[in-house]
Amino acid sequence: MDNVILENPMRRIRVSKVVVNSSVGEGGVKLEKAVKILQMLTGQKPSIRKAKKTIRGFGIRRGEPIAALVTLRGKRGEEFLQKALAAVGNKLSSENFDDYGNFAFGIKEHLEFPGTRYDPELGIIGMDVIVHLSRPGVRVAVRRLKRSQISRRHRLTREEGIEFVKKAFQTVID
């Protein structure tokens, strides 16, 4: 029993959610194509996001649909993350991580995903992949009723997030 290290299950790190965002900057046909591509890659229907402000320089009006977003949780999120990391060659920079262990990276073309073929009708889109890492019990800080604080020791750090991604997804981080 001395050689067996018992790990506290509340200290295990997990992928809480994976958010895939594709901002095309305009509605219409281009946004519909982005929605189809995201649905094909994730297996889930994307949510359409509207512009919060009018920006004349970019030709964007307030309330105009400009982006598509998908939130993946559980096994579906981890499977997509495996493919997304393969699309960037299983390499990330330490600058991609924030102070709480979360990380984000961009994919320039959806064709970089393994097994994806070019469809001339859909074209090519890029996307951002945002990954939220957490430990069990974090819900205590975000729930509506009986909200409470989480101790500093229980929060994830940047170094813990980097180590988790290295081990769990065999990713090289420079």
6, pLDDT greater than 80: no
CATH classification of the domain holding 62: 3.30.1440.10
Q: Tokens 């081990």 appear where?
A: 167
Residues 6 or more apart whose CB falls under 8 angstroms from that of 137 comprise 10, 150, 154
Residues 6 or more apart whose CB falls under 8 angstroms from that of 167 comprise none
2, pLDDT greater than 60: no
Q: Give tens-digit pLDDT for 126-173.
A: 999 999 999 999 999 999 999 999 999 999 999 999 999 999 999 999
With contact defined as beta carbons under 8 Å apart, do 51 and 64 qualify? yes
Amino acid at 159: E
DSSP structure class, residue 95: G
Q: Give tens-digit pLDDT for 40-88.
A: 999 999 999 999 989 888 888 898 999 999 999 999 999 999 999 999 9
Q: Is 49 inside a domain boundary?
A: yes
Q: Is 129 inside a domain boundary?
A: yes
Q: Within a 13 Å sphere around the CA of 120, how many CA atoms are in the beta-carbon half?
A: 0
Q: Which domain holds residue 116?
A: 11-173
| SS3 of residue 16 by DSSP | strand
pLDDT at position 116: 86
Pairing of strands 91-92, 47-50: unpaired
27, pLDDT greater than 90: no
pLDDT band at 13 (very low <50, low <70, confident <90, very high): very high
Q: Is 1 inside a domain boundary?
A: no
Q: Is 2 inside a domain boundary?
A: no
pLDDT band at 103 (very low <50, low <70, confident <90, very high): very high
Query: What average pLDDT does range 95-116 have in this prediction?
Result: 92
Q: Is 6 inside a domain boundary?
A: no
**CB count in 10 Å sphere of residue 41:** 22
Q: Is 4 inside a domain boundary?
A: no
Query: What average pLDDT does range 15-22 have in this prediction?
Result: 95
Q: Tokens 């402000």 appear where?
A: 53
B/e letters for 113-152, b = 16+ CB within 10 Å, e = fewer, are beeeeeeeeeeebebebebbbbbeebeeeeeeeeeeeeee
pLDDT band at 4 (very low <50, low <70, confident <90, very high): low
3, pLDDT greater than 60: no
Number of domains in the chain: 1
Let me know the angle formed at the C-alpha of 155 by 170 and 136, rounded to the nearest 5 degrees.
Answer: 75
